[in-house]
Chains A and B, each alone.
Chain A
């Protein structure tokens, strides 16, 4: 069997606000035989600063890629923003010699050099699909969540831009659905399923993202889903932490528990809710747990 060993790139927002995603991911990945090594040093993936200075994003991302190249390990991220950014920079530096030279001349300042073609960057669900495989995941399920009806929200940077990401079909993504079905739960379709949650602009304008996320929650509710499953800390923040705020703004009640995919999978794998940090969710998931038992 191939050795499944990755450098864990945690990103900024997960340790800042969403530790439940990390806790549940580590539990599930360990049981599936994936070894995670921590980044020797860390700096932000670069995405948040792309709007300020594109060159700053490039060097921050490239520095992280250099660290992984030195360790000769592929990167696993839980955050689609980090995955998308590191993946895009890794690919574009590899493909564009001029850009690579430009970035390397900046990296020289800190004694680093991006080589290219040595490592790859994958998001959690990409690792689960491509490296672990649906069959092995199904085999790990000991308490199938039969009868549970949920919906999914992918997170834009796992899918787009298709040119750089090359994972699943951005127009009709099905792989997260397959992963959900592997737990025994049913994954329902809903309107505007692939739309962004709006989180990236909440610091500039909070109303638009709240209306946008509210619209999605309404569509989730209208198909009688018992939960929404996410694989992005930002999307999770929009739908879970902000759900009470959205309910007040729209004067509507949703009450939709929002679980990280590894929490859903973890339950099916027999972990306790405590082990998966389910109590850290803002929207109570107890109802859901009773339904799945």
Chain B
């Protein structure tokens, strides 16, 4: 049995009331820009047009929207599929109800991070920005090669500013709690 069928079977078995978190429903609705989540009527346009869903057995934006409406917080935030959206925004452009689907996924990821769930790659990107200003650690050799090729030197980062901003928005806190 494929993963997709397995997931379908689970859903047919019913959803436990204990899995639904009403506070979560309110919380997500109040995030600016994604208030329209409740307008989703499950037409499935998002999943039908999603390039990732074409190649993934588990990724379905339609299902993520339904689980969000129902308040299935724990399942959502711990789900691997939450991190499979490539943010191509096709679903956002195509949704007949004007739901910012990619925005909902992003908000769910932000919540997962606050619960301490963050894929390694995002930890690294965050750390790189904090330490270098750039999302990737650019090797010294690369910088030297720029001069040889006649490219201008890379602009320096203002690390003091970046660190202050991370403190203000609470990213540094997320990091410390993790470590």
Q: Which residue of B lies closest to A170 (CB)?
A: B93
Chain B residues lying within 8 Å of A107, measured Cβ to Cβ, are 165
Per-residue A-contact encoding for B83-119, CB less than 8 Å = 1, 0 else: 1111111101100000010100011011001000011
A6 to chain B, nearest CB (A): 14
Per-residue A-contact encoding for B58-82, CB less than 8 Å = 1, 0 else: 0100000000000000000000000
Stretch from A139-147, A154-162, A284-292 forming part of the interface with B? A154-162
Assuming A51-B109, A52-B122, A60-B165, is B86 touching A199 (CB within 8 A)? yes
Assuming A55-B170, A59-B169, is B51 touching A43 (CB within 8 A)? no
Assuming A13-B135, A52-B122, is B110 touching A208 (CB within 8 A)? no
Assuming A41-B157, A208-B52, is B110 touching A53 (CB within 8 A)? yes
Chain B residues lying within 8 Å of A13, measured Cβ to Cβ, are 135-136
B129, B168, B171, B174: the one contacting A48 at CB < 8 Å is: B129
A38, A43, A198: the one contacting B86 at CB < 8 Å is: A198
B117 to chain A, nearest CB (A): 11
Chain A residues lying within 8 Å of B165, measured Cβ to Cβ, are 56, 59-60, 63, 106-107, 109-110
A59 to chain B, nearest CB (A): 5
Q: Is A201 an interface residue when CB atoms closer than 8 A count as contact?
A: yes
Whether B156 lies near A196 (C-beta < 8 A) is: no
Docked CA distance A55–B113 (Å): 13
Which of B87, B113, B129: most chain A Cβ within 10 A? B87
Docked CA distance A22–B155 (Å): 14
Docked CA distance A35–B55 (Å): 43
B57 to chain A, nearest CB (A): 10
Q: Is B41 an interface residue when CB atoms closer than 8 A count as contact?
A: no
Docked CA distance A215–B52 (Å): 12
Chain B residues lying within 8 Å of A56, measured Cβ to Cβ, are 165-166, 169, 171
Chain A residues lying within 8 Å of B122, measured Cβ to Cβ, are 48-49, 51-52, 203
B88, B119, B138: the one contacting A15 at CB < 8 Å is: B138
Q: Is A132 an interface residue when CB atoms closer than 8 A count as contact?
A: no
Chain B residues lying within 8 Å of A203, measured Cβ to Cβ, are 119-122
Q: Is B26 an interface residue when CB atoms closer than 8 A count as contact?
A: no
Assuming A59-B169, A204-B119, A208-B55, is B90 touching A160 (CB within 8 A)? yes
* 21 A-B pairs in the complex with CB atoms less than 8 angstroms apart: A12-B134, A15-B143, A19-B146, A38-B155, A39-B155, A42-B157, A43-B129, A43-B133, A44-B129, A44-B135, A48-B125, A51-B106, A51-B122, A52-B174, A96-B32, A156-B88, A156-B90, A171-B93, A196-B90, A198-B55, A204-B119
Which residues of A are at the interface with B, using a C-beta cutoff of 8 A?
Answer: 10, 12-13, 15-17, 19, 22-23, 26, 38-44, 48-56, 59-60, 63, 96, 98-99, 106-107, 109-110, 156-157, 160-163, 170-171, 192, 194-196, 198-201, 203-205, 207-209, 211-212, 215, 277
